[in-house]
Amino acid sequence: MPAPGELTFVAPRGAVKPPRHLADLTPAERRDAVAELGEKPFRARQLSRHYFTRLTDDPADWTDVPAAARERLAGALLPRLMTVVRHLSCDDGATRKTLWRLGDGTLVESVLMRYPDRVTMCVSSQAGCGMNCPFCATGQAGLDRNLSTAEIVHQIVDGMRALRDGEVPGGASPEGGPARLSNIVFMGMGEPLANYRRVTGAIRRLTDGDPDGAGLSQRGITVSTVGLVPAMLRFADEGFTCRLAVSLHAPDDELRDTLVPVNTRWKVREVLDAAWAYAEKSGRRISIEYALIRDINDQAWRADLLGRLLKGRGAHVNLIPLNPTPGSRWTASRPEDERAFVAGLQAHGVPVTVRDTRGQEIDGACGQLAAAERV
């Protein structure tokens, strides 16, 4: 029986366990692992600093570790977890999507988006997704497996390294140059709260300070969920200050039951109540994600209903023009319907943004790149 937050709705296809990696372990577990290899416990801090702060997992760079011990420590604690299949860039290079092949051949993806004032990275928490939303390419392909904590963290460490080394142009100056990662969104492949233990482990690794972790701010991290209520309530008790984004996509149960099938288990009202519980404990506003789909969920009366549900709650709505997937009957709303939807929410005083759809020309909708690679 899975614990709350470890819910899987479709059996994972892949059962291969990724190798243990430093980033899977707490600082205490790292010290134990190093001691088991016959090394002094302080080597764990050295390795952690190389990986999380200096962003190198190449033993040749570890000049503070005796040469004889480097390969052994690297083999045991920093095995290669994934390789780049390809990078795809658009927006003059300021958006870079990476397709990864994991050790068992599974494909996942991450996206770096550099803006004048910030850099956001979108990461995958699962290979595929078991939530089965009918408008989503990833959902149609099903769930391969959960990513390990280290497989999640490594997407970000690699992105930090690419930014530091000036590989992603853009930003305030035309040349770009080095940059720092400011935001992480768990909005790539997968439902993060269905891989609860590993995702929360990744948040700790990313936000622990030097040398234990990457020293990023929890306030810059957004975890999105379709509404796994028990996991949301558990998440509220973690003491995190991350932002929680709820992929609502419909304000009424009748439609949401079809657009987000997990709604047959937890209804709109329960999902929103769990979101408000998180907002209260974390002190963060909730984001409501709503993919606008032509003639499906973009009617004025639905904007009004959504506005009434969110009024006075301090939540912010992100409207996402649907990026149609090949062969899908779902498509983006007409501009006039989008404008009317925005106005309907604003009439209730609900803040709303129409999301920038960066990366569309490189198959930016979640899962599309990996789905294209599979065929």
238, 338, 366, 373: the catalytic one is: 366
Burial class (CB in 10 A: 0-12, 13-18, 19+), 180: exposed
The stretch among 18-26, 129-137, 232-240, 349-357 that binds ligand SF4 (CB under 6 A) is 129-137
Number of chain residues interacting with ligand SF4 (CB under 6 A): 10
* 129 makes contact with ligand SF4 (CB under 6 A): yes
Q: Return the number of other C-beta atoms located less than 10 Å from residue 178's C-beta.
A: 12
* 297 makes contact with ligand SF4 (CB under 6 A): no
Q: Which is nearer to ligand SF4, 55 or 133 (CB)?
A: 133
CB 230 within 8 Å of CB 5: yes
* 138 makes contact with ligand SF4 (CB under 6 A): yes
* 191 makes contact with ligand SF4 (CB under 6 A): yes
Q: Restricting to residues 313-372, which ones interact with ligand SF4 according to CB under 6 A? A: 366
39, 109, 191, 289: the catalytic one is: 109
**Minimum CB distance to ligand SF4, residue 34 (Å):** 37
* 229 makes contact with ligand SF4 (CB under 6 A): no
* 131 makes contact with ligand SF4 (CB under 6 A): yes
Q: Which is nearer to ligand SF4, 48 or 138 (CB)?
A: 138
Residue from 74, 61, 21, 39 nearest 161 by CA: 61
Instruction: Using the structure block, give the residue that is written with the tokens 């008790």.
Output: 237
Strand residues in the chain grouped as ranges (E): 82-90, 95-102, 107-114, 119-122, 126-128, 143-146, 183-186, 221-225, 243-247, 287-292, 316-321, 352-354
**366 is annotated as an active-site residue:** yes
Q: What are phi and psi of 194, to 5 degrees?
A: -85, -5
| Active site positions, annotated | 109, 366
Which residue ranges make up the site for ligand SF4 (CB under 6 A)? 129, 131-133, 136, 138-139, 191, 226, 366
